[in-house]
């Protein structure tokens, strides 16, 4: 039912002094779902498993994404170009972190009753994760794209591995090191 028409019906019932009918109608047709959010924190390993499963494809757009450790190497090498702010302040963070940085999103948001488990996790960019927020894809008119295949696009994993193997300096950065550990563990399970 059209949500605006639901409120129209509530208003009509209210004008006719049918308060309980308003409550019943609203609860039936446009209820508030009181879900208690669960604390969510994923290990680099868990994230890598999902990124590998989804082939580094943004499941909301179909766009290619990059391995997070490689993006950080770009910042280490080219600090003045690929700027990064640890609080993701947009005026101080290069758009690569929003456009191409993969993250996990809940297809069915936790705030809407979705589960916090791998079957409800998908790969998306930070930009789309932020835009989607706690909406369902139906509510915002998005579609779910198919998973990618690693043989077609791997998020430039090979470059990340080659660069870190060639230059151990990168792994002095704990962020890069932790992504590599998580990646190698996840890749060993493929």
How far is 181 from 56, CA to CA, in rounded Å? 18
What pLDDT does 131 receive? 95
Beta strand extents in the chain (DSSP E only) = 102-106, 121-125
Q: What is the DSSP letter of 59?
A: T
Work out the burial of residue 3: count CB atoms within 10 Å of its CB; fewer than 13 is exposed, 13-18 middle, 19 or more buried: exposed
What pLDDT does 37 receive? 57
**What is the arithmetic mean of pLDDT over 148-177?**
96
Confidence of residue 65 (pLDDT cuts 50, 70, 90): very high
pLDDT at 1 > cutoff 80: no
pTM for this predicted structure:
0.82
Distances (CA, A) of 148 to 54, 65, 93, 123, 151: 5, 11, 27, 10, 9
């Amino acid at each position: 039912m059209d949500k605006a028409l639901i409120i129209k019906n509530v208003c009509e019932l209210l004008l006719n002094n049918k308060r309980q009918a308003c409550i019943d109608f609203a609860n039936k047709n446009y209820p508030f779902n009181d879900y208690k959010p669960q604390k969510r924190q994923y290990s680099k390993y868990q994230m890598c498993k999902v990124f590998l499963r989804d082939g580094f494809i943004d499941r909301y757009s179909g766009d290619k994404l990059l391995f997070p450790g490689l993006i950080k190497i770009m910042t280490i090498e080219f600090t003045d170009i690929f700027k990064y702010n640890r609080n993701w302040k947009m005026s101080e963070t290069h758009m690569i972190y929003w456009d191409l940085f993969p993250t996990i999103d809940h297809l069915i948001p936790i705030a809407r009753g979705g589960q916090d488990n791998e079957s409800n996790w998908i790969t998306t960019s930070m930009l789309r994760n932020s835009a989607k927020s706690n909406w369902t894809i139906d509510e915002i008119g998005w579609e779910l794209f198919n998973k990618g295949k690693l043989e077609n696009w791997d998020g430039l994993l090979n470059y990340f591995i080659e660069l870190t193997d060639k230059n151990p300096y990168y792994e002095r950065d704990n962020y890069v090191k932790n992504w590599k550990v998580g990646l190698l563990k996840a890749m060993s399970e493929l």
